[in-house]
Chain A
Amino acid sequence: MAIDRMSVCYVTDDGTVPAVSDVSFRLSTSERLAIVGESGSGKSTLALALAGLLPRHVAEISCESARIGGRPVDLRADKSVIPRRREGVSMIFQDAMTSLDPVASISHQFRTVLKAGSGLGRAEARRAALNWTEKVGIHEPERVLRLRPYELSGGMRQRVMIALALCSAPKALIADEPTSALDASVSRKVMDLVLGLTQELGTALIMITHDVDLAREYTDRTLVLYRGEVQDLCATAELMSPERSSYTQALMRCVPRLGDHALDVLPTLTTSSLPVLETVP
């Protein structure tokens, strides 16, 4: 995946409002990229635009050039009311409860994805669905496939969502705060699962997060976003290096450490008061 100078503007009644400007990055097979930033820094917008989930009446996207899986793609927003999927890019969201179709059975949700993606027949799709539910660590896949999302626990739903997103073997998986809704122990298991499966499939991973620790543990490189602009794009291990931009250094200082007894008050980002989008000059 190679993105060059991509910008996203939201369409409002009073004209367009820039949300992401001039973002460029490259991502090779199986590489893992973290996009970190505060709330409102444009990281989710960037993710939605990459996945093709912003329809044209919502946002305008411009890009100098973009290639996914070696093929050039047109990142411009789709005209349809329900946007079309960006070929080869899957996305998972924070809350699996609201992400899954609340009333369709799990097996049905697998079938519609497998049928559209790989043209599998009913029996083949069922086998593939069983295989995938097992792969994401769900016991009794036969039983779970018959259930509907509201009959599953939060962790199970998250696993089902991951399986659904990956069963079409996408070139890239975008994970938007994939574990914020889960507690710490489940969150780590889910991340290990995502990591293992993407490595196995050769799928590149883009992880949107505000959790710097999570980024450090699970990604190779990190893109720091502030007000829709790239502050830094570097190896995740070098985030703490003094060569980083002043914003990144300030952001890193806000990450609390165990054993940091000297701190009575957690540091906050004083340099940044994120303005409302419209008032950004």
Chain B
Amino acid sequence: MSWYQRNKWWMVRVMRLPVDVFVFATLAFFLIRLLPGDPVSVALATINQPKTPELEHNLRIQMGLDGSVWDQLLRFWGNLLHGSLGTSLDTHLPVTREVLDRLPATIEIIMLGLGGAFVVTMVLGFLYIRFANEGLRRFIRLTTGFATSVPVFVVAIFGILVFYVILGWLPAPLGRVASGQSLPLVTGFPLLDEVLTGNFADLGQTLLRYVLPVGAMILTYTPNLLTQFVGGLDRELAQTATRFQVAAGASRQWIYFSVMRRSVSSVVVIFGLFFGSLIGGAVTIESLFGFGGLGQLGIRAVSTADFPTLQGFMIIIVVFCLVMFVAVDLVNMWLDPRRRPGVSSEES
């Protein structure tokens, strides 16, 4: 097989991404315009200036809302090709910059929280098939019962109450470093920047301040991922494939690995879904702990009727979700080649 044939499966999937982004960005364009009310008049109402027709006209141009919808769409597409999403009405900065400044910090907190939940899920899943201890297995099955039953902010508030207010073990939920200090800025990922600039005192502070939000996310999302995993494990344990591996004398490590690998695909899907939704949805955690993030940008854009920022925010979230779905597809196609396009699993 040629290199192209062997690698076609992921290349085709990756090449579909820009097409998807284009379609969904266009959808976002129309969705925003379906919102009731004229954003220009809303913006006018919040500006402390005499409302002249020139001001309204200028504002309309600034928002990209002059001309017909089709003119706007063409301009929107043109800007999109240049990677431009317009200029914020509130801060007069490019929307892409506003978004990209905040995105890394949000990704960092999600990676830690959701990634941590994934790791805990894998560990618990391994214990579930490795040890026959009925108490342990019952505990793991009980844990899955908490899936989607407790929202993350409840856990977070409870954590703040216990560990900050009552016990005083953890610092106040007021940002990533002690007030008055500021974070170094290299890549935008706070922890990484602190390591890169050798700012280890700050790194310690930030890590300490991450304990509660990340812990809350792990506690909340592990049951969701674990439900999928334990379901898959129970199914695969009963499979003839597992029996035959034992009967043929395959090594124990391989059997554990193989059973887990065959069970993990639905966990990856759920992980991707949560990751996508948290890009905007991490705002609850971020607000609670005084972290800046992408979600806060979205909220600010709504409250200040900052139309271009809202549109850009939506598109970035859509792009991010789509990238995440591609990643999920690629991981699952890598785990199980039968999922690759053009591979038939059943011929007999």
Q: Which A residues lie at the B interface, using CB under 8 A? A: 48, 51-53, 55-57, 79-85, 89-93, 95, 97-104, 109, 112-113, 115-117, 148, 150, 153-154, 161, 164-165, 168, 170, 174
**Which residues of chain B have a CB within 8 Å of any CB of chain A?**
128-132, 137, 237, 239-252, 254-256, 258-259, 261-262, 335-338, 343-348
Which B residues are in CB contact (< 8 Å) with A89? 247
Are B249 and A90 within 8 A (Cβ)? Answer: yes
Write the nearest CB–CB distance from A151 to chain B, whole angstroms.
8
Interface pair A103/B244, CB less than 8 Å apart = no
Distance, CA A203 to CA B248, complexed state (A): 14
Instruction: Name the one of A80, A85, A112 contacting B247, with C-beta atoms under 8 angstroms.
Output: A85
B contact residues around A81 at 8 Å (CB)? 128-132, 137, 237
B129 touches A99 (CB 8 A): no
Tell me if B246 and A53 are in contact (CB < 8 A).
Answer: yes
Which among A84, A100, A150 is the interface contact of B246 at CB below 8 angstroms?
A84
Across-interface contacts of A53 in B (CB, < 8 A): 243, 246-247
Nearest residue, chain A, Cβ from B259 = A82
Closest 9 CB pairs between A and B? A116-B251, A91-B247, A112-B254, A99-B244, A112-B250, A98-B240, A168-B249, A164-B248, A154-B348
**A82-B249 CB under 8 A given contacts A102-B338, A103-B261, A103-B338:** no
Listed by A's residue number, 7 A-B pairs whose Cβ atoms lie within 8 Å are: A80-B132, A82-B256, A89-B247, A98-B239, A99-B244, A112-B245, A116-B250
Which A residues lie within 8 Å of B129 (CB)? 81-82
Chain A residues within an 8 Å CB radius of B248: 90-91, 113, 164-165, 168
Most buried by B among A52, A55, A101, A164: A101
Q: Which one of B137, B251, B335, B346 contacts A103 once the chains associate, using CB atoms below 8 Å? A: B335
Question: Which residues of chain B are near A83, meaning CB under 8 Å?
Answer: 246
A168 to B259, CA, bound (A): 22
Q: With A154-B348, A161-B244 known to touch, is A113 a contact of B237 (CB < 8 Å)?
A: no
Cβ A85 vs Cβ B336 within 8 A? no
In the complex, A83→B249 CA distance in Å? Answer: 11
Q: Given contacts A56-B132, A81-B128, A112-B254, is CB(A100)–CB(B247) below 8 Å?
A: no
Q: Which of B239, B242, B243, B337 is A148 in contact with, Cβ under 8 Å?
A: B337
A82 touches B246 (CB 8 A): yes
Q: Is the CB of A112 within 8 A of B246?
A: no
Counting chain B CB atoms within 10 Å of each CB, the highest count among A82, A102, A153 belongs to A82
Instruction: Give every chain A residue within 8 A of B251 (Cβ-Cβ).
Output: 112-113, 115-116
Closest to A118 in B: B249
Not counting A99-B244, A150-B343, a sample of 13 additional A-B residue pairs whose C-beta atoms are within 8 angstroms of each other reads: A55-B132, A81-B128, A81-B131, A82-B259, A85-B247, A85-B249, A90-B249, A101-B245, A102-B336, A103-B335, A103-B338, A113-B249, A150-B347
Roughly how many angstroms separate A84 CA and B348 CA in the complex, as a whole number?
32
Q: How far is the CA of A182 from the CA of B302 in the complex (A)?
A: 66
Docked complex Cα distance between A153 and B346 (Å): 10
Q: Which residues of A lie under 8 Å from residue B259 when comparing CB positions?
A: 82
Distance in angstroms between the alpha carbons of A89 and B244 in the assembled complex: 12
Q: Which residue of A lies closest to B137 (CB)?
A: A81
A117 contact set on B, CB distance < 8 A: 249
The answer for the CA separation of A209 and B197 in the assembled complex, in Å, is 72
CB distance from A181 to the nearest CB of B (A): 9
CB-CB nearest in chain B for A48: B243
Give A94's nearest chain B residue, CB to CB.
Answer: B240
* A100 vs B237: C-alpha distance when bound (angstroms): 14
Which residue in chain A gives the minimum CB-CB distance to B246? A85
> What is the CA–CA distance of A55 and B238 in the complex, to the nearest angstrom?
11
Interface residue from A82, A99, A170 paired with B240 (Cβ < 8 Å):
A99
